[in-house]
Structure 1
Amino acid sequence: MKALQFDRTGDLSALRYVEVATPVPGADEVLVEIKAAGLNPSDVKNVLGRFPYTTLPRIPGRDFAGVVVAGPDALIGKEVWGTGRELGFFADGSHAQFVKLLAGGVAQKPGNLSFAQAASIGVPYTTAWDALERSLVTTGTRLLVIGGGAVGSAALALAKVRGAEVLAAARRPEQVKDLREQGYPTIQLDKPEDLGAQVNAVYAGGAEVIFDTTGFWLPASVAALATFGRIAIIAAPVDGHVQLPALALYRKGGSVVGVNTLLYGVQACAAMLDQFGRYFDQDLLPLPQGLVESPLAEGLERYGEVNQGSGGKVILLP
């Protein structure tokens, strides 16, 4: 089969488009013919060596949608989707014509989603779902989501389904405009020291949950937090350190929730996909738009573009 593969890390030149053997599933596994695979920033960082536990040589790629072609009889021919920590790190991933994984690691693809749309969902939506679950976002929760990227948009959409009060925040004017056009009340981020006043002007007493998807607003978020509030984070500065106003957080009884989807294997992620996937078929979640579809053979170029921060979610098509 054709695949993208790297046998060293540190530079994207290590990634090659190669011919490799098609994997053979074991007794408790399935073989999925990939119809579409999402390209996430974490896939690029994997090739660049940001994940020291990755074993080599390796086919990258976490998110996929496709058809089961080998495995338990009940799954043969089923349209499925999936994601998970093993793929691309400890086991070969989805940037190939086929992927092998545990049979319990695939979920039935929502009928309302095309293969390309389904392949764009995995990492952003499982990240957002985990953040909302572990931050206890439910009906009436006053939620602030910081950042206008894929995870932030997923969190806003999922929180709306849960019945939470939602407020978005973004720095770039085009992000603010886009979020407002989607129907979300949105504040323009400026100086970190102003965030508390901005949020309290909307939520008297502060936000019960703040989800910072950028890695830059954790210290400023404390002033915007309600008593006994939670701040969920998915990123940190490059050096991994931040000056946290711990006294202010302590006085509010606040807590910080670290959200890392690389803690969840394919089976746990399949359970998440099953839980929120039904919302797409119920027309409760927006269908992904603006996808950049590209042949797998041009994957090396797409990796470079994602590394440069180019816009649009890239979907690789074997």
Structure 2
Amino acid sequence: MNALQFSRTGELAALELVQLPTPIPAEGEVLVQIKAAGLNPSDVKNVLGRFPYTTMPRIPGRDFAGIVIEGPQELIGQEVWGTGKELGFLRDGSHAAYITLAVNGIALKPKSLSFAQAASLGVPYTTAWDALQRSLVDGNTRLLVIGANGAVGSAALALAKVRGAQVLGAVRRPEQLQALKANGYNAILLDKGEDLAGQVKAVFPEGADVIFDTTGFWLPASVTALAPFGRIAIIAAPLDGHVQLPVLALYRNGGSVVGINSLLYGVEACARMLEQFGKLFDQGTLPLPSGLLESPLSEGLERYAQVNEGGVDKVILVP
């Protein structure tokens, strides 16, 4: 089978298109023919050596959609999708023609999603879903999403809207602001950290109950924008991993910080998340993904480089 594989880390040139035997599923596993696989920034960082626990040689890739061709009889021919912390790190991932994983590590693909659309959603939507769940977002929540134009941020806005939350997006560029407003969201333009609280309270006078910072740069500024007992959910940090946090203001307001890491969840836990929000696509309450760049595996290195350079298109690799 065709696959992207790396046997060393440190540079994207380590990624090669190779021919490998089709994997054989073990007992309790399925063999999935991959129809589409998402390319996430974490896949790129994996090849660059940012995850020291990755074993090699390794096929990268976390997100996929495809068809079960071996496994329990009732699953043969079913269209499925999946993601999870093991894939691409501790076992071969989705940037190949086939993948094996636990029977309970797949979910039935929503019928309203194409293979490419489903493959684009795994990491962004499970991350956003976890952030909303663990920061207790519901119909009474005033939510600010910082970096609302990104894959995780836009997923959080869509999922929070379904929950009935009051949502506010924050972005850095005027064209991003206009795009959010065109999609029916309240939005603010980020500028200086000291201005964030005033901007938020102009929309939510008592402050935001939850602030989801998808960028890693607005944690200190978010503290004064919180409502009493508010929560800040974070999925990223500055390069050195450190911020100066106004702890006095945080604890006096009853605030808390919730760390979100999609790599804490294996394929089985992720499959349960996919089942929960996947049905919302078929119900028509979540927007279908658009703007996807589908590319063959043979262009994998080029696409990895594009994502590494901050390309805005969501790349889908097609075996």
Normalising by structure 1, report the TM-score.
0.99
> In structure 1, what is the Cα distance between the partners aligned to 2:175 and 2:49?
32
Q: How many residues align?
A: 318
SS of alignment partner, residue 61 of structure 2: coil
> In structure 2, what is the Cα distance between the partners aligned to 1:261 and 1:178?
27
Which residue type is aligned with residue 164 of structure 2?
G
For structure 1, the residue ranges without an aligned partner over 5 or more in a row are: none
1:122 is the counterpart of 2:129? no
1:190 is the counterpart of 2:173? no
SS of alignment partner, residue 110 of structure 1: coil
Instruction: Supply the RMSD in Å over aligned alpha carbons.
Output: 0.5
Which residue type is aligned with residue 229 of structure 1?
G
> In structure 1, what is the Cα distance between the partners aligned to 2:72 and 2:33?
15
SS of alignment partner, residue 54 of structure 2: coil
Equivalent in the alignment of 1:166 = 167
> In structure 2, what is the Cα distance between the partners aligned to 1:132 and 1:51?
26
Equivalent in the alignment of 2:89 = 89
Equivalent in the alignment of 1:287 = 288
> In structure 1, what is the Cα distance between the partners aligned to 2:217 and 2:182?
25
> In structure 1, what is the Cα distance between the partners aligned to 2:41 and 2:48?
11
Alignment of 1:140-289 (within 5 A): 140-147=140-147, 148-289=149-290
> In structure 2, what is the Cα distance between the partners aligned to 1:181 and 1:113?
23
Equivalent in the alignment of 1:4 = 4
Spell out, residue by residue over 1:71-112, the C-alpha distance to the aligned partner (whole angstroms, 9 max, x if none): 111111100000000000000000000001001000000000
SS of alignment partner, residue 130 of structure 2: helix
Report deviation, 1:176: 1.0
1:107 is the counterpart of 2:107? yes
Equivalent in the alignment of 1:44 = 44
Between the aligned residues of both structures, percent identity stands at 73
Report deviation, 1:140: 2.0
SS of alignment partner, residue 18 of structure 1: strand
SS of alignment partner, residue 224 of structure 2: helix
> In structure 1, what is the Cα distance between the partners aligned to 2:244 and 2:155?
28
Equivalent in the alignment of 1:301 = 302
Which residue type is aligned with residue 152 of structure 1?
G
Normalising by structure 2, report the TM-score.
0.99
Equivalent in the alignment of 1:77 = 77
Spell out, residue by residue over 1:1-26, the C-alpha distance to the aligned partner (whole angstroms, 9 max, x if none): 11000000000000000001111001
Spell out, residue by residue over 1:41-95, the C-alpha distance to the aligned partner (whole angstroms, 9 max, x if none): 0000000000111000000000000000001111111000000000000000000
Which residue type is aligned with residue 121 of structure 2?
I
Which residue type is aligned with residue 292 of structure 1?
L
Report deviation, 1:297: 1.1
For structure 2, the residue ranges without an aligned partner over 5 or more in a row are: none
> In structure 2, what is the Cα distance between the partners aligned to 1:60 and 1:173?
35
SS of alignment partner, residue 66 of structure 1: strand
Which residue type is aligned with residue 50 of structure 1?
R
> In structure 2, what is the Cα distance between the partners aligned to 1:239 and 1:169?
24
Which residue type is aligned with residue 173 of structure 1?
P
SS of alignment partner, residue 305 of structure 2: helix
Equivalent in the alignment of 1:68 = 68
> In structure 2, what is the Cα distance between the partners aligned to 1:13 and 1:293?
21
Equivalent in the alignment of 1:13 = 13
Spell out, residue by residue over 1:220-276, the C-alpha distance to the aligned partner (whole angstroms, 9 max, x if none): 000100100000000000000011110000111100000000000000000000000
> In structure 1, what is the Cα distance between the partners aligned to 2:8 and 2:286?
39
